[in-house]
Structure 1
Amino acid sequence: MTEVSARIARLFAYPVKSCAGAELTEALVTETGFDLDRAWMVVDESGEFVTQRELPRMALVKTQFRRGEVILRAPGMLALHLQEDAVEGPAQVRVWNDTVAAYDMGDVAAQWFSDFLGRKSRLARFDPECRRLSNLEWTGGVEAPNQFADGYPLLVVSEASLDLLNEKLAARGVAAIGIERFRPNIVLAGLEAHDEDRVSVLRIDTPEGEVRLALVKPCSRCTIPTVDPATAEMNPAINDVLRTYRASERLGGAIAFAMNAIVLEGFDRILRAGQRVTGDWDFA
């Protein structure tokens, strides 16, 4: 079998966990994935993370990168400007089973999210001195740090995988959906549907040198793909269709869509839409 051959179709980063992402023309690769990806996170009064799973309205918070800041916009709200290099006091927050050091972003950000979400909330910034690792069993022992991502630095999916799902949705009379619902970092063109499941390593040549990514774990899906990013309304039919053909034995029967990835090589190099991607098939 020939080596994997594809190209980068789209790139996304999600500065605030579970809020809308920003599409990028280029992305700086860091040890924890794309620069500033999931660097901020909304937490409740006890410091516990909150997501679209319980607050679908978070999907309506749009994000934009601009000259050293991240700008957040939401219906009925004035824009909130977050300086990339500004924080307030230290904090401890919890994401899944990890309690990690963070920084509180202050009362203005807290009030903004509290008002929009209708629940007392605060905004936290990940402490870069903290080291939160991906599951070593899935990474094969490679230490892959994250910020506030669910568990892995990057998420990779192919355009063909979404095309197949939309064909199956259409057969059920369900409207087509966009790739944004699956919150990928890298969208690949040129693969067959779910070929990403069968790849071990991806290589991208950049002017700065090669970037190598290991695709280590299928991504188990919760209710977030059912949330319409334009309205925050949920349509369970999407997961109902996925469950008919994407239940994964490796994940105990959970829905699998896209692959979690870690960075093996290429820190401080830049990925760009249109770059050629090669790789190795996983014969394990």
Structure 2
Amino acid sequence: MASVVELSYYPVKGCAGASVNEVMMTPAGPAHDRSFMVVSAEGVFRTQRRDPRLALIRPGISADGERLALGAPGHGTVSVDVDISGTRRNVDLFGAPYQGIDQGDTAAEWLSDVLGTPSRLVRVPPEHHRVTDGRTPGTSGYADSCALHVLSRSTLDLLNRKMADRGAPPLPVDRFRPNIVVDGWDEPHTEDRSHRITIGDTELGYAKLAIRCAVTLVEQESGVRAGPEPLRTLASYRRAAQGGVAFGAKFAVLRTGKVSVGDDVNVLRWGESEL
């Protein structure tokens, strides 16, 4: 039986994640996941693709979502009260226009110091009604696309075996920043074909393959781009028809509820892989 072995959520887009034993799954994914985003002075989102030092920032959000702490090596910690009623500002996420609530100068000055470039912190406003794409539409905060990224251990194990054949060291799962890691699927990339699943109280619908980008080249502990792996090895066997390389799958939340480490992963409907 397949089961959940790791759960993570990422309060601030592009920054370090929090590993937890249980999480409440909302329509936009795990509670507080990608609720915040670091942007330039012009409102353009920051990403590890261009600012790998984002990986060094470790956010902590209170259970009620009213207090956010940010910490980074050599920069201490800063805490701010979360503003959900302030003035909205325009923000840009992959060229798409959204709104964000600026979280003030204290967070902005701290982030600018850590990243070495002028930066602001914004939060998703309560009226944020984003519609995500894929076979199963859904919603998300400031995630790249869909609410959930699911990855199986067998998928990662296959990649690491192929990398070992090239003389490359294995990569930890955090290089891929999944929300849910599944063990017990013996065949790699089973998540590609699991088109409707239940976990704990929730039901999830497959949306699309996870197309990987330069973020996978960043060592999450050091905030340094290490390249060319894993993209070089993935390009040898996981090229996607739409371009790029695929690794893991994105899902939409169809029924909310609690998900815990150890929960069974039940596939209600199988489908063909898009690869």
Please list the CA deviations of residues 228-275 of structure 1 after superposition, one character each: whole Å capped at 9, or x if unmatched: 0111222213211111111112x23x110110100112x2x1100000
Separation in 1, partners of 2:39, 2:200: 38
Which residue of 1 is the match for residue 265 of structure 2?
277
| 2:34 counterpart residue number | 38
Q: Which amino acid aligns with 1:70?
A: L
Alignment of 1:123-272 (within 5 A): 123-135=121-133, 138-140=134-136, 142=137, 144-191=138-185, 192-206=187-201, 211-234=202-225, 235-249=227-241, 251-252=242-243, 254-265=244-255, 267=256, 269-272=257-260
The letter of the residue matching 1:105 is: Q
Q: How many residues are matched?
A: 268
> Counterparts of 1:107-118 in structure 2 under 5 Å?
107-118=105-116
**Does structure 1 conserve the Cα–Cα contact (< 8 Å) formed by 2:193 and 2:270?**
yes
Which residue number corresponds to residue 20 of structure 2? 24
Q: Aligned residue for 1:11? A: 7
SS in 1 for 2:181: strand
Q: Secondary structure at the match of 1:244?
A: coil
**Matching residue of 2:96:** 98
Q: Scaled by the length of structure 2, what TM-score is found?
A: 0.92
Shift of 1:67: 5.1
Deviation at 1:128, TM superposition (A): 2.0
Contact 2:83 2:103 in 1 (8 A): no
Distance 2:72 2:162 in 1: 32
Whole-Å Cα distance in 2 between the matches of residues 84 and 23 of structure 1? 22
1: distance between equivalents of 2:68 and 2:21? Answer: 16
Work out the CA distance in 1 between the residues paired with 2:115 and 2:207.
Answer: 34
Q: Map Cα deviations across residues 26-49 of structure 1 (whole Å, 9 max, x no partner).
A: 111111111100000000011010
TM-score by length of 1: 0.89
State the 1:76 CA deviation.
1.2
**TM-fit CA distance, 1:63:** 2.6
Residues 211, 246 of structure 2: 8 Å contact kept: yes
Unaligned runs of 5+ in 1: none
Q: Which runs of 5+ in 2 are unaligned?
A: none
- Structure 1 Cα separation of the partners of residues 200 and 116 of structure 2: 46
Aligned CA RMSD, in angstroms, stands at 1.7
- List, as ranges, runs of 4+ consecutive aligned residues in structure 1 with deviation greater than 6 Å: none
Give the drift of 1:98.
Answer: 2.0
What is the alpha-carbon distance in structure 1 between the residues aligned to residue 72 and residue 85 of structure 2? 22
Provide the C-alpha distance between the structure 2 equivalents of 1:167 and 1:95, rounded to a whole number of angstroms: 35
SS in 1 for 2:207: strand
Check the 8 A contact 2:84/2:101 in 1, yes or no: no
Residue type of the alignment partner of 2:169:
A
